Amino acid sequence: MSNPFSYVFSCIFVLLAHGAMLFNVFSNGNYDDVNSVVVLASVVIGLDLVYFTIMPFFRQQTYAVDFMLILILNMGLIFQSCFGGVDFQLKHFITVIAALISCRIGYLVCRDHRWIEDKKKYIWICIGILMGIILLFTGSRSMWISLGESTSIQPSEFMKPLLVLACATSITEQQKKHKFLCFNIVYENIIPFGIIGAICLFQWWCRDLGSIPTFGAIYVSGFLLRICYPKGKFSKKPIIIAVASLAVLAVIAVMLAPPYVKEERLFVDIWANKYTTGHQQCQALIAIADGGWFGKGPGHGFLHTVFAYQSDIVFSSISEEWGLLCAVMSVFVLLMMVAIPLVNPPRSYYHGSMCAGIAAAFSVQMALNVFGSCNMIPFTGVTLPFISMGGSSMVVSGLMAGMLVAAQSPVFKAPKRKKNEKKPQPVQPVQMQNIPQAPPPVQPQQEIPPQPPINYTLTDRRK
């Protein structure tokens, strides 16, 4: 951040927001021992201070995303520690630390696009390895790998940032056409399409259909940027075909959905089935209504008795205890975080494409969680990024936030030349004389002769 005062100013306001929330917990919270509030407050404020101290060592150009990240992560920690009674959640705190570390990793890996574009084959290989892990190590048609009694990881979550990178790193390679039979094929277009197809199949195999819209949104954002990319042949036809194909695919997917999806998710009347398949959503809606604008107070809710109150219906849990205003604000902070690239636009196609993919993933995930809790769309069981409890989701969200940070503080370094790669030599002037279109040599200092006006259009794609 160029101005140290604005850095300190932002730090103070983040501390103020967390301080106000903690004071609310202290004065309104449901706790037996005040020490539980003191522990929570010291951890939250301590984490803030440590993060604010460490951040300047990374010498970023801007810290806006980092401030929003720490704001929302500690908000999540306070929310999670208050559900059903104030008690510091150590497990969630560890996942918050893991998210912050993965954010730094994401930043360091993704800031130099020329470096990562050279390594795109490894990204494809990583996706393949993850698919192999899902096939070999998850249980029978499950999405989880159990690492103990209370610990398990969801490998399919890690495919989200890899898919974003696969789409972003191949966007500038659309000129390289390869002849295959009688077709001109661009491998960089075929491979992301193959990857998304394979991911959708795997998600179906793992019965994790709720994540398919998130993966779809990442691919669609990458696809739209790809066909709008100057070197691609832009026309309305591909967009119309893409939208029509999506609509047809959605209809086919609904028609061919397995019976358990149709009966328990898509066409469920929650009030008629309020003790069976519609139980979670009924309770979630009651809790939102019960909380009102300002909530019942931290720890005073009843939703903690319902399954997945910390993850799938976390929006309702927050609404009940903290109020709808606070729940909407937490979603708003997340939206602001993904909207920062609009304020400070990235300067390369790679970073722009990466930001679009991440924004699409977070927005869709958030919409599925919030609208699913409110019974406006079928309930999918997707987590709310940075707030829901869940190690894999938190680490992946942190990694994607790091990619946003990288897009805000990019590095434009020259690619390293390989040993056997020769420098491009200029063509000799003797050869040039044979070319009829060649303009006459002009000295750098020479006045340019008057030319007819050129009709230029500078299209700024970043807007």
Partner 1 sequence: MDAEKLIMCAISAAALDLCALVLMITSYREKSSGKKRWKKISADMELADRDRGYPLECDEILIGRHENADIRIHDMSVSRYHAILNVADGKWTITDIGSKSGVYVNGIHVEQKRLRENDVIGIGDRRLIFRKRRDRR
Q: By CB under 8 A, what part of segment 429-448 binds partner 1?
A: 429, 431-432, 435, 437-446, 448
Q: Which of 367, 409, 411 is nearest to 385 (CA)?
A: 367
| Residue 13 interacting with partner 1 (CB under 8 A) | yes
| Binder of partner 1 out of 57, 183, 414, 421 (CB under 8 A) | 414
Q: By CB under 8 A, what part of segment 37-66 binds partner 1?
A: 61-62, 64
Binding residues for partner 1, total number by CB under 8 A = 85
| Binder of partner 1 out of 21, 131, 153, 358 (CB under 8 A) | 21
Choice between 231 and 237, CB closer to partner 1: 231
CA distances from 288 to 165, 318, 361 (A): 37, 8, 25
| Binder of partner 1 out of 257, 329, 367, 374 (CB under 8 A) | 329
Cβ 383 to partner 1, closest distance in Å? 21
CB 136 within 8 A of CB 86: no
| Residue 104 interacting with partner 1 (CB under 8 A) | no
Q: By CB under 8 A, what part of segment 234-273 binds partner 1?
A: 234
Cβ 18 to partner 1, closest distance in Å? 9
* The pairing of beta strand 145-146 with beta strand 183-185: unpaired
Q: By CB under 8 A, what part of segment 187-226 binds partner 1?
A: none
Transcribe 33-48 into DSSP letters: -HHHHHHHHHHHHHHH
CB 321 within 8 A of CB 298: yes
Q: By CB under 8 A, what part of segment 286-315 binds partner 1?
A: 294-297
| Binder of partner 1 out of 231, 249, 251, 271 (CB under 8 A) | 231
| Residue 376 interacting with partner 1 (CB under 8 A) | no
CB neighbour list of residue 284: distance below 8 Å, 6 or more residues apart: 303, 306, 313, 315, 316, 373, 374, 375
CA distances from 111 to 64, 72, 99, 107 (A): 16, 23, 18, 6
Q: Which of 322, 341, 342 is nearest to 330 (CA)?
A: 322
Per CB under 8 A, which region of 34-42, 158-166, 264-272, 319-327 contacts partner 1? Answer: 319-327
**Residue 178 β-bridge partners:** 185
Q: Which of 33, 144, 136 is nearest to 85 (CA)?
A: 33
**Residue 153 β-bridge partners:** 145
| Binder of partner 1 out of 336, 367, 374, 377 (CB under 8 A) | 336
| Binder of partner 1 out of 41, 55, 68, 400 (CB under 8 A) | 68
| Binder of partner 1 out of 73, 75, 384, 387 (CB under 8 A) | 75
3-state secondary structure of 302: coil
Q: Which of 38, 89, 43 is nearest to 70 (CA)?
A: 43
Cβ 456 to partner 1, closest distance in Å? 6
105 vs 96: CA distance, rounded Å: 14
Choice between 57 and 456, CB closer to partner 1: 456
Binding string, 127-156, against partner 1, x = CB under 8 A? ------------------------------
Choice between 286 and 336, CB closer to partner 1: 336
| Residue 340 interacting with partner 1 (CB under 8 A) | yes
| Binder of partner 1 out of 285, 326, 361, 396 (CB under 8 A) | 326
Q: By CB under 8 A, what part of segment 377-406 binds partner 1?
A: none
Per CB under 8 A, which region of 6-14, 119-127, 139-147, 263-271 contacts partner 1? Answer: 6-14
445 vs 193: CA distance, rounded Å: 51
72 vs 51: CA distance, rounded Å: 13
**Residue 112 β-bridge partners:** 411
| Residue 4 interacting with partner 1 (CB under 8 A) | no
| Binder of partner 1 out of 126, 133, 325, 367 (CB under 8 A) | 325
Q: Which of 328, 266, 343, 255 is nearest to 295 (CA)?
A: 328
| Binder of partner 1 out of 88, 309, 322, 386 (CB under 8 A) | 322
367 vs 166: CA distance, rounded Å: 24
| Residue 67 interacting with partner 1 (CB under 8 A) | yes
180 vs 187: CA distance, rounded Å: 11
N-term to C-term CA, the chain: 23
Choice between 119 and 461, CB closer to partner 1: 461
| Residue 459 interacting with partner 1 (CB under 8 A) | yes
169 vs 354: CA distance, rounded Å: 9
291 vs 297: CA distance, rounded Å: 9
3-state secondary structure of 21: helix
| Residue 353 interacting with partner 1 (CB under 8 A) | no
Choice between 213 and 297, CB closer to partner 1: 297
Specify the DSSP class assigned to residue 210. Answer: G
| Residue 85 interacting with partner 1 (CB under 8 A) | no
Per CB under 8 A, which region of 96-104, 116-124, 257-265, 341-349 contacts partner 1? Answer: 341-349
